[in-house]
Structure 1
């Protein structure tokens, strides 16, 4: 995944939209960025997975 796309997604999902938690690790939530996916979750149970290949197909 491009760094610019990762940064865009972090701005959007850096804070949990459900509870506002901004922390990652130590049971607070998590973040995994791989070649085609961005995954962010929170201790409150909220979770999002973004597959950037879907964005590429729309072009």
Structure 2
């Protein structure tokens, strides 16, 4: 829940939309991924530090 609040908006362009080519949010097990249409993405899991790209 903390990561969802932190990444509700893209850190590059401020886009808050998901789906329809706007961006994605995936939570699978301990892995959290958030992407944006501008190319920004973040991925983290329980065993590694966050990686902003």
TM-score with structure 1 setting the length: 0.77
Decide which structure has greater strand share.
2
Question: CA RMSD of the aligned region, Å?
Answer: 1.2
Higher RCO, Cα 8 Å, sep 6+: 1
Name stretches of at least 5 consecutive residues in structure 2 with no aligned partner.
Answer: none
TM-score with structure 2 setting the length: 0.85
Name stretches of at least 5 consecutive residues in structure 1 with no aligned partner.
Answer: 1-6
Say which one has the larger Rg.
1
